[in-house]
Structure 1
Amino acid sequence: MKLKLFKGITFALLWYTCIIWAVFFIYCPLIFLLFVNRRLYRKCTDIILSCWELYPASLLEIFMGCRVCISGDDINPDDGAILIMNHRNRLDWFFLWAALLHSTKPPAHRCKFVLKSDVRIIPGIGWGLQMAGYLFIHRNWEKDKILLKRSLDYFKSIKEKYQILIFPEGTNISKNTKEKSHSFADKNGLQRYEHVLHPRTTGFTFLAEYMKSNSQLDAVYDITVGYPKTLPSSETDLLLGNIPEEVHFHIKRYPAKELPSDEIPIKKWCEERWEAKEDALAKFYKPQTDRKFATDYKCDRPWNAMYFALVAWTMFTIYTVYLTFTSSIAFYWVLFSTISHIIVSYFSIGIQQFEIDLYNKFDREREDGETRRLNSSIPTTNGKDKKVY
């Protein structure tokens, strides 16, 4: 029990301290690039995040001994896509990082999560996710629709394809949320679900319609997560070392052309996916079963890269923390970065929206001007000069 607690505390400290000091010493210096070249800033922050995501996966699987099992389809990192997943507990997103790493070929996913706005003010991880361009919502649909549209338009303008993860249930399963889901089902004459919550389809429907019309949607990936043994519930479980022995993910890819075209059919399509999830999870959690989604699991791991990431990021964390308290320059840089992020997080809607504002102010105007100049330089012909080939 003491060893378990020690490993849990060590795991949490390494993971969280690495996040904070990576923001201070890697992400924050890139802020200056944001004022010079938005496209380059976005590429750099994306690459850094991809490199860092190996670290929590390595801590989870190598240090804590958690086995992440993947079945179904691979995720194509070149797809512009929507990822939808059931939300079993508050830590699903953490295990999903490892799942995304192992389910893409090569292991280089480009996923942005849709998260509650409160997450962006959390020291360290919230600041880093702002700079990584994640999408934050405020539970006000009129406001959220505008913010989502701005982010999607920006991604298209800079010619970057991403996978957008959304939890249609809106929150994780708990006694309170399950009772609300049952009440909704009873009121609308629907089946009561025991392993999922009835999905809120507004956000997904908007993303599917808008990304499809914006030529940003190649596929929808339906992900189902299950915990065959230990089931953590909150961040406290990480600290206490209550890490699941295994986490299972089943992935199904649906090409965008297979999705319905209108709002009501898309909503129905999402609801059907959740009905299928309930059936799959009912079988998964059935007593005296192997608790697997499929017999064929993908267990390939980039072990060399994971061991390297484990050592490199741990050494980086130790060194930068040491530097902070031995160098006055480093100390005041950390202090300045902390104050700046607190001000931005509490008095604006985030660095990620400031990035879009800068692009719209400078890059878009210049690109529109170049397009107009190009069009004006193309010779025009009257109808008599046209040739049909």
Structure 2
Amino acid sequence: MEISTILMSLPLGVTFVVTGLFINLIQAALYLTIRPISKNTFRKINGAIAEILWLQILCLMEWWAGIEVKLYTDLKTYHLMGKEHAVLMSNHISDMDTYILWILAQRSGCLRSALTVVKKSSKYLPIVGWASWFFGFVFLERSWAKDEGYLKTSLEELKDFPMPFWLTIFVEGTRLTPDKLLASQEFAISKGLLIQENVLIPRTKGFIATIQCLRSFVSTIYDVTIVVPKTHPIPSLLRTLRRQPWVVKVHITRYSFNELSESENEIAKWCKDKFIFKVVISCSCVVTLGGWILCHKFGKGHVFLGAILAIVAVTIHIFIEYTKLPQQIREI
């Protein structure tokens, strides 16, 4: 990691790490004391506490980096956002996607109940991963044999959620990269499916299970498409820390669960059809993925202060390593 990026990020990093560890400790205490007595009371308090941490991330994105998120939807959907339980079916272009949707959740008043289905390794990330586990994120191993039972159990636990929630599921199962797009297109050719640009073929087993488990108490699906204008690169943590602004457009179409058949095959077909339409929405965008060589070097100084700054720098380094993308070879 470039030393200039580390130095520029340290003031915010120190605040984030200190606040985040304090919040993690409070969450752990609440989990051990309040949750056994009342799960919903724990959810309400924990949501308010976690929101403090989430807002720091949003502040980093909007105030520090000056990013811009443009929402495209109809007026009815806009007024209902944050006021109803909803499943968000989104494409996945970067590891900033969750935070992009958090900006919309914060504007809609449901940031403290914005849940996400993510890969299992995410929960081991310092501070954010731990906070997400206490918050109620659903962590999957990307193996249906291992994930099916856990996913269904986690979804059933949302039945008595005390406030309107968003549950974001990235149906592609992974973020878009050149290698994954190529593999997805080769798979489509082998199965005689339509070759798609800008999105991967959705993995529908988890989506089908989500619809079936939530149908009795969730009535709405938001079909979310995140796109990047031609002149802008894919969002990344490194660009954010460098105060390099980026712009994304978020298109949301609202559907009722009643529009989906109860047939698994029909649900899968509906999902795949919506992802074909995402190609139409995103065809005006160029996906530009950046690759970086990360390194850092510190000189001697006060031992205690140096240790603190080193911990912060390592934490920042971990996040960037975890979120960095391979270099894009071609333009779409």
TM over 0.5: yes
Cα distance change, pair 253–10 in 1 and its aligned pair in 2 (3 A)? farther
Cα distance change, pair 59–238 in 1 and its aligned pair in 2 (3 A)? closer
Q: Which amino acid aligns with 2:69?
A: V
Cα distance change, pair 66–3 in 1 and its aligned pair in 2 (3 A)? farther
Does the 8 Å contact 2:27/2:46 carry over to 1?
yes
Query: 1:149 aligns to what?
Result: 152
Does the 8 Å contact 1:8/1:242 carry over to 2?
no
Query: 1:56 aligns to what?
Result: 57
1:340-381 Cα distance to aligned partner (Å, 9 max, x none): xxxxxxxxxxxxxxxxxxxxxxxxxxxxxxxxxxxxxxxxxx
1:227-254 Cα distance to aligned partner (Å, 9 max, x none): 2243246544444x16443222111111
Does the 8 Å contact 2:235/2:246 carry over to 1?
no
Residue 218 of structure 2 is aligned to residue 222 of structure 1: no
Q: Which amino acid aligns with 2:205?
A: T
- Greater C-alpha radius of gyration: 1
SS at structure 2 position matched to 1:29: helix
Q: Which whole-Å CA distance do the structure 1 matches of 2:103 and 2:161 have between them?
A: 27
Query: 2:41 aligns to what?
Result: 40
1:117-128 pair list within 5 angstroms: 117-128=120-131
SS at structure 1 position matched to 2:34: helix
Task: Detail structure 1 runs of 4+ shifted over 6 Å in the superposition.
Answer: 1-5
Q: Which whole-Å CA distance do the structure 1 matches of 2:177 and 2:9 have between them?
A: 24
Task: Return the offset for 1:81.
Answer: 1.8
Of 90, 96, 100, which residue of structure 1 is paired with 2:101?
Answer: 96
1:21-50 Cα distance to aligned partner (Å, 9 max, x none): 3213x3233132223332211221122223
1:70-100 Cα distance to aligned partner (Å, 9 max, x none): 1113253232221111111222222222132
SS at structure 2 position matched to 1:21: helix
Q: Which amino acid aligns with 1:230?
A: H
Q: CA RMSD in A?
A: 2.8
Structure 2: runs of 5 or more not aligned: 288-303, 309-332
1:55-134 pair list within 5 angstroms: 55-72=56-73, 73-74=77-78, 76-102=81-107, 104=108, 106=109, 108=111, 110-134=113-137
1:109-167 Cα distance to aligned partner (Å, 9 max, x none): 62210011111122211111111011111223133121122222222146555321110
Q: Which whole-Å CA distance do the structure 1 matches of 2:106 and 2:161 have between them?
A: 24
Identity score, percent: 25
Q: Which whole-Å CA distance do the structure 1 matches of 2:12 and 2:172 have between them?
A: 29
Q: Which whole-Å CA distance do the structure 1 matches of 2:234 and 2:161 have between them?
A: 39
Task: Return the offset for 1:210.
Answer: 1.8
Q: Which whole-Å CA distance do the structure 1 matches of 2:135 and 2:232 have between them?
A: 31
Of 169, 178, 196, which residue of structure 1 is paired with 2:172?
Answer: 169
TM-score by length of 1: 0.65
TM-score by length of 2: 0.76
